[in-house]
Chains A and B, each alone.
Chain A
């Protein structure tokens, strides 16, 4: 599904990703862990197509197609979803209106008509229930005055609505209490299937108790320096990242 080869990326001439190789197949859950400043969020942004990042070398293929030159919205249309670490506020635009626009723009890109209001309503109801979201919440302005937990739950609600092939969860656990974490993780698990994939980016092992990864990769200084199974996450939790740094620098 996603194939990244020797990816180098920089922002404002500062090199951040220095040769990433990663392959994610349908049905898989991958986790990327690593200390602060290792390039985790940059990797998420580059896959999603953020303009500020310049790909200086390497390739990104999504379902066999080179997406490097594709605009962010085109990547979204193809089924790439990014759950933001810091979701932005859009005052005056309700969650419902935002989702309606996102879904219909995606349909338009595929040459489809707007989703009939009746179907839209049904979909919203169904997904709101899945994530235990109060209907009142949906008429509020997008992320405006939302608590940390509400913002993250809203991200996963959007993911549920858009049904992406690849969902990238960037530090989705940050700012969540244990109850919110469980709801968010349950939501992700319910949405998982053999046809889609999840890339979890996290600093801590906590979220991985709920969203269990098939593979864990450690990102350090712009490279994946170690890959393993979920056991690796436990090891990192116990020992911290210093031993990885030592191993790499040795």
Chain B
């Protein structure tokens, strides 16, 4: 007997366990819980930072103490106890490796389980990896090839030591320390992250890739990423992540700053698959991220994201189109299942003349989840002939989930042209039966329908990432039938 109804499907989606729910035991060097000035100083000391960096962190910490957690997002959760979190954790083995043989075998096993063999990555794909496990880089590859082009790709801690002039010049210029509650927290306590600089006129010959991974119980993750594309340069940056199962909530408050100078282009792609909590909505990662890019004249920044994980997501990768003729793009797929909540979207701030922005957002909700798109399109008085196109599509599975759209449009220049389209649809039993009748089982049918729905965004991802993203969509929504 193999009758498979939409009810069965819904049931199955609910019982689907987190595929990558395992935990690697690596002896860790972890700070005591709690946050105060001493902890901030200790983090800075541990990372052998110069005084200006320590002061910068302390300034952020002072601001953070006066700030309150934002409540305007369409998400409901128990606020984290910021004094119950440890703000520093690093794998306790040698911090740097010359070859893979030196890497903790258990860590390598974890990568293998995730299907990310560094070895294979090195040999087969043209991808340089800066792997971040619990805040400290443990493997950096392809550095030499990049070095020949003058490209700097390293952990931000290293960059603070080795290229202080660049870090000092740009850090906090797009996302200031006091920008918002989580950005301030991150500025005070960020443990590590990635730094990338592409020199003038250089086209980065490979996709730069970082894998993030949360790996210590009760450890907050405060990554800081800074990407600078100098005049006329190009870079495609990939960020992807998975995390082990946890019962308690894990806070993640990252900051990503992109700077595209005149005629430069940055493509920033994310596949996010953190632990979403169990079927009852217990546990899961809180993902409160501030991502923002600045475009100078004729520059272009594209954000592409595939968000399938986290219990609560609060994330708005944005573009400040400061220079004339600059272009901002945002392509997003957000999947929520069970009790997941996502409030995600973008801000396109048009300051320069002839600036253009495109927003394509695809939300997929299943189970009892809530999926919100929140987007701002702002045209300032000087932004003559600015153009925006926004399209927000929602796909619902079952009757217990929700899809919401909150578009904000502020136009202060009469020459602006703004288009907004929105649709909501449901995966129908008729669609599934149609596929079944052609020999395609329900699991595969849903994957096909969801992939079709997400195609416009999947197409924007670099090839190897698109394959992984497709796999993730299937994992997030399907469960293993039979």
Contacts and interface: CB of A to CB of B under 8 A. Distances in A.
B13 to A, nearest CB: 17
A88 B452 contact: no
Interface of B: 1-5, 428-431, 433-442, 444, 448-449, 451-456
A70 to B, nearest CB: 7
Interface in A87-142: 87-88, 90-93, 97-98, 101-103, 105-106, 109, 141
Nearest to B425: A91
A92 B2 contact: no
B440 A88 contact: no
Contact of A92 (B1, B440, B442, B454): B454
A51 interface: yes
A76 to B, nearest CB: 4
A69 B2 CA distance: 7
Interface string A137-160: 000010000000000000000100
B439 A93 contact: no
A122 to B, nearest CB: 20
A49 B431 contact: no
A84 interface: yes
Max count, chain A CB within 10 A of own CB: residue among B433, B434, B438, B454: B438
A21 B437 CA distance: 23
Given A91-B453, A93-B451, A51 B5 contact: yes
State the main secondary structure of chain B at its contact with A.
helix
Please list the 7 inter-chain residue pairs (A to B) with the smallest Cβ-Cβ separation, ordered nearest first: A92-B452, A72-B436, A93-B452, A76-B439, A102-B438, A92-B455, A71-B2
Contacts of A206: none
A117 B86 CA distance: 53
Contacts of A52: 429
Contact of A90 (B1, B4, B433, B452): B452
Given A70-B2, A84-B434, A101 B444 contact: yes
A70 B453 CA distance: 29
A106 B444 CA distance: 12
Contacts of A162: 438-439
Given A88-B428, A93-B455, 7 more contacts: A49-B437, A51-B3, A71-B2, A82-B437, A90-B449, A92-B454, A105-B438
B451 A72 contact: no
B4 A71 contact: yes
Contact of B451 (A84, A92, A106): A92
Contact of B456 (A70, A72, A92): A92
A87 B437 CA distance: 11
Greatest chain A CB density within 10 A among B428, B436, B444 is at B436
Contacts of B430: 88
A101 B448 contact: yes
B438 A158 contact: yes
Contacts of A59: none
11 contacts: A71-B436, A73-B435, A76-B439, A81-B437, A93-B448, A93-B449, A93-B451, A101-B440, A102-B439, A105-B441, A106-B439
Contacts, number: 84
A3 interface: no
Contact of B448 (A50, A76, A98, A109): A98
Contact of A72 (B433, B452, B453, B455): B433
Most B CB contacts (10 A, CB to CB) among A48, A93, A106 go to A93
Interface in A67-81: 69-74, 76-77, 81
A82 B451 CA distance: 24
Given A92-B452, A93-B448, A101-B444, A76 B436 contact: yes
A50 B433 contact: yes
A50 B451 CA distance: 24
A90 B440 CA distance: 14
A141 B3 CA distance: 28
Contacts of B5: 51
Nearest to A54: B3
Nearest to B428: A88
B436 A105 contact: no
B437 A92 contact: no
B252 to A, nearest CB: 31
Nearest to B393: A91
B438 A98 contact: yes
A90 B395 CA distance: 12
A103 B435 CA distance: 11
Nearest to B459: A92
Contacts of B442: 73
B422 to A, nearest CB: 15
Nearest to B395: A91
Contacts of A106: 439
A130 B1 CA distance: 38
A90 B436 contact: no
Contacts of A90: 431, 434-435, 448-449, 452
A50 B442 CA distance: 13
Contact of B437 (A72, A91, A93, A101): A72
A102 B2 CA distance: 19
A93 B445 CA distance: 11
A92 B448 CA distance: 9
B52 to A, nearest CB: 50
B439 A109 contact: yes
Contacts of B440: 73, 101-102, 105
Contacts of B435: 73, 90, 102
B415 to A, nearest CB: 33
A73 to B, nearest CB: 5
A22 B188 CA distance: 78
B1 to A, nearest CB: 5
Contacts of A141: 452
B431 A88 contact: yes
A103 to B, nearest CB: 8
B452 A105 contact: no
Contacts of A81: 437
A92 B453 contact: yes
A90 B436 CA distance: 13
A109 B440 CA distance: 10
Nearest to A50: B433
